[in-house]
Structure 1
Amino acid sequence: METKIYLALYKNKRSWRKEPVKACCDWLTRKLTKGIYSHCEIAVEKIVFTKGSHYEQESYFECYSSSVQDGGVRCKEINVADGKWDLIPLEKVTENEIKGYFGRTKGMAYDWWGAVGIVLGIKQKRSKFFCSEWCFNALYQSENGWRFGPNDLAVMVR
């Protein structure tokens, strides 16, 4: 069975009442990057088979990115099929390429200045990453992801 890989783009609008800081950051990212997305992940679909009265197929998503909430580059399970994300299939990248780049960057800090730099033209620190920078670099085996926000990346991979 072929592994499916997606660019997952966060489009949900959080509650200003329940999560004011996160809602503000999402809103600001969307405004500054002129689009509907505030975050992105590379999502690798994992299929598991469970045995009950018969075998059933279930899936979950192993997601790779750099996240403010998680302090930088990490991999974690996220339900990107919950309606809060748009998924764009990625055909020209393998799971091994994603895991290889992750292995080289795991634990590196979130790049606040680089994220702001998309709008202001400030170049990134090579030891830190923001979400779309990390995803671009992983997808294109490049170091030029500091130039692109999640909305730019969405247009590029479609």
Structure 2
Amino acid sequence: MRYYVAFYRGRGTMADRIVRHATRSPFSHCELIRTDVTPRRGDTVECISASGRDNGVRIKSITLEDPKWDIYAVPWAPDDAWDRAAAHLGQPYELWSMILSQLFNFRRHSRDRWFCSELIAHALGLNMPHAKSPGDLLRDIDDHTDTYKLVLSRMTATRRGAQDVDEDEDLTAAT
């Protein structure tokens, strides 16, 4: 299974506009996706998130309508990310602490209430999930993905170098 996060940029409701304005981001909501196939705009996928419209943490099938959603891969996500989010199913939504944390550096967390990006940041194992707006979460995902790709490329180069050394030793021993 692979993980993705879908970020909502649709016009939405007044609450969506308030979140975008308060967080200075084009995104007002996000959803964690776990799937075997790469999701595309227009697909209907099973998501987990905290939603004010759905009164809290829930799992829901959502159609990722174009151009309302942007989808980002999270190749470094821990295997148990979905389970970490699902452990909070049914807990209520927390809009105001997210808005206050963005406007006034409130940075408080209610252990039994969640907003979307906080829940997903928690599921992904990121630091200070309660301080993440959807835009902040995307920046962290991008940063971690860049680091992940850099580490993979260095590991691949190291393996190639070790294979080259082994091949050189085999040639030396054969002569």
TM range (shorter): 0.7 to 0.9
| Rounded Cα–Cα distance in structure 2 between residues aligned with 1:157 and 1:75 | 21
Contact 1:45 1:60 in 2 (8 A): no
* Higher strand proportion: 1
Contact 1:7 1:89 in 2 (8 A): yes
TM-score (norm 2): 0.70
TM-score (norm 1): 0.77
For residue 110 of structure 2, the aligned residue among 122, 125, 137 is 125
Select between 38-47 and 5-14 the one with higher mean Cα deviation. Answer: 38-47
Residue 67 in structure 1 maps to residue 67 in structure 2:
no
Contact 2:85 2:122 in 1 (8 A): no
For residue 77 of structure 2, the aligned residue among 81, 93, 104 is 93
State the shift of 1:114 in Å: 1.8
| Rounded Cα–Cα distance in structure 1 between residues aligned with 2:65 and 2:2 | 13
Q: Deviations over 1:64-101 (max 9, x none)?
A: 1100000100111111253310011010125x513321
Contact 1:5 1:43 in 2 (8 A): yes
Residue 35 in structure 1 maps to residue 25 in structure 2:
yes
Report the counterpart of residue 125 of structure 2 in structure 1: 140
Report the counterpart of residue 56 of structure 1 in structure 2: none
Q: Deviations over 1:10-61 (max 9, x none)?
A: 01113xxxxxxx2x111111111011000011122366xxxxxxxxxxx641
Query: Which consecutive residues of structure 1, in runs of 5 or more, have no partner in the other structure?
Result: 15-21, 48-58
Could you tell me which amino acid in structure 1 is paired with residue 115 of structure 2?
F
Highest CA radius of gyration, 1 or 2?
A: 2
RMSD: 1.9
Report the counterpart of residue 8 of structure 1 in structure 2: 6
State the shift of 1:155 in Å: 1.0
Higher-RCO chain (CA-CA 8 Å, sequence separation at least 6): 1
Query: Which consecutive residues of structure 2, in runs of 5 or more, have no partner in the other structure?
Result: 38-42, 143-175
* Higher helix proportion: 2
